[in-house]
Amino acid sequence: MASEELQKDLEEVKVLLEKATRKRVRDALTAEKSKIETEIKNKMQQKSQKKAELLDNEKLAAVVAPITTGYKVKSSNYGWDQSDKFVKIYITLSGVHQVPTENVQVHFTERSFDLLVNNLNGKSYSMIVNNLLKPISVEGSSKKVKTDTVLILCRKKVKNTRWDYLTQLEKECKEKEKPSYDTETDSSEGLMNVLKKIYEDGDDDTKRTIDKAWVESREKQSKGDTEF
């Protein structure tokens, strides 16, 4: 549900809570208020996380980019596979085998690696991969330069474990693409059910309180006085 609709539900519950006098009614409305506030908070966190993932995704997409020129060339010209001990990343760079060995540098951490190739055809190229799916052994990892290819060997910290994805981000993106079977009740529907049950089970005073608060809430929203 959109955040705007959740805010409207929250304001309506607040209005009803202000008018309610009976403990049972107030307890039910207070619980519903907390539920909606939690859902709003979760949606805000998901929105922030999505922005961060997009930034990380852009970094991963810019797999090979010259860093000493005034323009960037994005490429996804790489592939990877694995053995029991290593995750192997193959980066294609034409002519890389012709540059001095010291011009090809790789820095490893437990969950990332950073490749830098200096002065290849007058340019320098970098590839940075963060948030690897699982930890690697920094000391056991290395690189090899082959014809038009740099091979990155990330030694698995726990051998004989399977990597279904190269990075944690790839895993999360793929999982989000799967159909959702979340059966959680819609917030507005849940609120209506709560109010309906309170109304049906309540005495005359309770019903009058809800009726009055409901009318005032609707009038307030129609005048545009609801605070957000």
Q: Where do the domains of the chain lie, and which CATH numbers do they carry?
A: 1-52 (4.10.860.10), 72-171 (2.60.40.790)
Question: What average pLDDT is seen over the chain?
Answer: 79
Q: Which SS3 state, helix, strand or coil, does residue 95 take?
A: coil
Q: What is the pLDDT of residues 83-138, one digit of tens each?
A: 999 999 999 999 999 999 999 999 999 999 999 988 888 888 888 899 999 999 99
* pLDDT of 215 strictly over 50: yes
**pLDDT bracket for residue 73 (50, 70, 90):** very low
pLDDT at 57: 58
Please spell the DSSP secondary structure of 159-209, one letter per residue. TT---SSSBHHHHHHHHHHSPP---PPPHHHHHHHHHHHHHHHS-HHHHHH
Q: Which SS3 state, helix, strand or coil, does residue 137 take?
A: strand
The model's pTM is 0.49
Backbone angles phi, psi at 65, to 5 degrees: -140, 130
* CA distance to 24, 45, 168, per residue, from 42 (Å): 27, 5, 21
pLDDT at 174: 84
* R_g of the chain, CA atoms, integer Å: 28
Q: Out of 9-13, 77-81, 129-133, 190-194, which region has the weakest mean confidence (pLDDT)?
A: 190-194
| CA–CA gap between residue 7 and residue 93 (Å, rounded) | 52
